[in-house]
Amino acid sequence: MSVIHILEAELELTGPGAVAAPETTTVGSVLRPDLPLARDGWGNPYLPSTSLTGSLRQHASKDRRRDLFGDVFKDTDNSDKNGREQTTAIASTIRVLGTRLALPEPPVMRRRHTAIDRHRAAAKAPTLHDRELLPPGTGLTCWLRIDTETTECPLVDEVIELLGAWRPRIGGGRTTGYGRAELFTVRHRVIDLSTRDGLRHWLTVGGPQVVDDQATVVYDRAQQAGGAPDEPYLFGRPLEFRIADALHIGSGTFAERAGRQTGVAQVLRDHEDTPLVPGSTWKGILRARVEFILRSVGIGNVCTSVKDGVAGSCGACVVCEVFGWTEHPGTTTHDDRERTKSVGARGRLLFADSPIRKGSVKVRNHVAIDRVFGGARDEALYAEETVEDGHLALHIRHDGAVPNVLHAALVLALGDLADGAIGVGRGTTRGYGTLAAQPATRDWLAAERATAVNTLRAHRAAAIPAPAHAIEEVPA
């Protein structure tokens, strides 16, 4: 081991992202977010290098993971005298030395989330939670070390190639558009300890300065035309909508004027101050609608993923499989035998944030009606910002196979969205949140509809040999 290779990879978050640290939440605090960022000992946001290593390991081909990143496994060739398999651990060839964040201003943003009540089709009361996120544009540098015998080593070239094709995804919330990052540059510093210069450099320089001006740039995004490709679109294209009436997706904050709160509830905006529909909203309303459609036609025995008291997502139906599921803390019983071993699974569909283009933001006033005197009730005036027009694109990507039946249900759910049968954001029963499809998307939805209905029909006929009249019913 006389040659040390240091690779310095520079990444940038292209969307909000974070590694959450729920263990740091203090009990009973309303001022702190429910899902705070992981922080270092000085209180600065921090991305653990394990998060990056996991993403990179996942990107490597299966048969190379053990050689590059090590492994812990049950060894079948190596059993002890009682015939039991021994656990073998192989150390990782690549050592991840650490990460540094370059934070823009303001360094931390907050997002609120809630769950959809499947009966009222509106936000469910006790499920509001907020999480801290790093804003898009956050820079991230990460250092890898590989020790070899010689300066020229195919292993190092393999790692550089692996980095070049890597699509870094960091932290939680991947399926709602969080944690997307892009690799900008990789610099390679070879330190040959058998030479005088190399040894002096290694012994006298520490920290990030180890990668000095003698390093060579082995990857540069500017020369690679766009970097690693994104995950493929589920429908081969983004879907275009326009806002048919006012839309309000709250940020949970109030507008300020001259340093004072005005009491006007603000809409959620991205880091460029553009109003947006977050990926989590798309995922929530489409999941609820897909469940509704599949339950209505009686396919797949799908669960209601939000339910009072006991059950949550079942983890067994086709919706859980594609949208992901979690083991809710409230779902386990005191009896340990009934506890499932799994902690849930990530979904295969990825929903991105949709900024609203050319939307104008207005303030609307509302007041409650006094039920006795019939007029406006005193002190019940409130105001909220709404996006009155504009258009937006819905990006649904996938990184795993999506069954036909779910593909079909999703087409019908999107059709319902375009028809205004379901709305987005707040106040959908008061005429808020209706979207209309742009011409190209409308034509595409119309063309896909017949196939989708036929798929569900065929699936149902194959699953249940029901009487003929029961198969005729397909939801609008």
Q: Measured from the CB of residue 324, what is the shortest distance to Zn ion in angstroms?
A: 10
The first and second tokens of residue 279, run together, are 């990926």
Residue placing its CB nearer to Zn ion in the complex, 324 or 427: 324
Answer for which of 320, 392, 405, 408 binds Zn ion (CB under 5 A) is 320
Q: Measured from the CB of residue 300, what is the shortest distance to Zn ion in angstroms?
A: 9
Distance CA 299, CA 297 (A): 6
> Which segment (70-78, 256-264, 309-317, 410-418) binds Zn ion by CB under 5 A?
309-317
Site for Zn ion, residues 403 to 442, rule: CB under 5 A: none
Half-sphere exposure of 52 (CA within 13 A, CB side): 27
The first and second tokens of residue 49, run together, are 């290098």
The reply to whether 247 sits near Zn ion by the rule CB under 5 A is no
The reply to whether 303 sits near Zn ion by the rule CB under 5 A is yes
The reply to whether 144 sits near Zn ion by the rule CB under 5 A is no
The reply to whether 211 sits near Zn ion by the rule CB under 5 A is no
Q: How many CB atoms lie within 10 A of CB 407?
A: 18
> Which segment (42-50, 149-157, 162-170, 313-321) binds Zn ion by CB under 5 A?
313-321
Instruction: Give the CA radius of gyration of the chain.
Output: 26
Residue placing its CB nearer to Zn ion in the complex, 172 or 315: 315
> Which segment (33-41, 269-277, 297-305, 333-341) binds Zn ion by CB under 5 A?
297-305
Residue placing its CB nearer to Zn ion in the complex, 295 or 398: 295
Residue placing its CB nearer to Zn ion in the complex, 96 or 322: 322
Residue placing its CB nearer to Zn ion in the complex, 291 or 353: 291
Residue placing its CB nearer to Zn ion in the complex, 144 or 303: 303
Contact 185, 221 (CB under 8 A): yes
Residue placing its CB nearer to Zn ion in the complex, 55 or 305: 305
Q: Pick left, alpha or beta for residue 390 (phi over 0 → left; psi -120 to 50 → alpha; otherwise beta).
A: left
The first and second tokens of residue 437, run together, are 């499809």
> Which segment (99-107, 149-157, 177-185, 306-314) binds Zn ion by CB under 5 A?
306-314
Q: Measured from the CB of residue 317, what is the shortest distance to Zn ion in angstroms?
A: 4
Residue placing its CB nearer to Zn ion in the complex, 199 or 314: 314
Q: Pick left, alpha or beta for residue 344 (phi over 0 → left; psi -120 to 50 → alpha; otherwise beta).
A: left
- Coil, strand or helix at 60: coil
Ordered strands of the 139-148 beta sheet: 95-102, 139-148, 3-13, 181-192, 216-220
Number of H helices, E strands in the chain: 9, 24
Residue placing its CB nearer to Zn ion in the complex, 317 or 413: 317
Alpha helices in 60-195 (DSSP H): 62-69, 154-164
The alpha carbon of 463 is separated from its chain's Cα centroid by a whole number of angstroms, namely: 33
Distance CA 206, CA 6 (A): 12
String of DSSP letters for 165-203 = T---B-SS-GGGT-SBEEEEEEEEEEEETTSHHHHHHHH
The reply to whether 314 sits near Zn ion by the rule CB under 5 A is yes
The first and second tokens of residue 284, run together, are 């929530």
The reply to whether 345 sits near Zn ion by the rule CB under 5 A is no
Which residues, at least 6 apart from 63, have a Cβ–Cβ distance to it below 8 Å? none
Residue placing its CB nearer to Zn ion in the complex, 331 or 428: 331
Q: Measured from the CB of residue 406, what is the shortest distance to Zn ion in angstroms?
A: 12
Residue placing its CB nearer to Zn ion in the complex, 259 or 329: 329
Q: Measured from the CB of residue 305, what is the shortest distance to Zn ion in angstroms?
A: 6
Distance CA 48, CA 39 (A): 9
> Which segment (128-136, 182-190, 298-306, 383-391) binds Zn ion by CB under 5 A?
298-306
Contact 146, 93 (CB under 8 A): yes
The reply to whether 94 sits near Zn ion by the rule CB under 5 A is no
* Closest to 352 in 3D by CA, of 264, 233, 200, 471: 233
> Which segment (177-185, 303-311, 336-344, 411-419) binds Zn ion by CB under 5 A?
303-311
The reply to whether 317 sits near Zn ion by the rule CB under 5 A is yes
Residue placing its CB nearer to Zn ion in the complex, 266 or 313: 313
Q: Measured from the CB of residue 315, what is the shortest distance to Zn ion in angstroms?
A: 6
Q: How many CB atoms lie within 10 A of CB 19?
A: 18
> Which segment (12-20, 219-227, 296-304, 453-461) binds Zn ion by CB under 5 A?
296-304
* Closest to 454 in 3D by CA, of 415, 408, 407: 408
Binding site for Zn ion (CB under 5 A): 303, 313-314, 317, 320
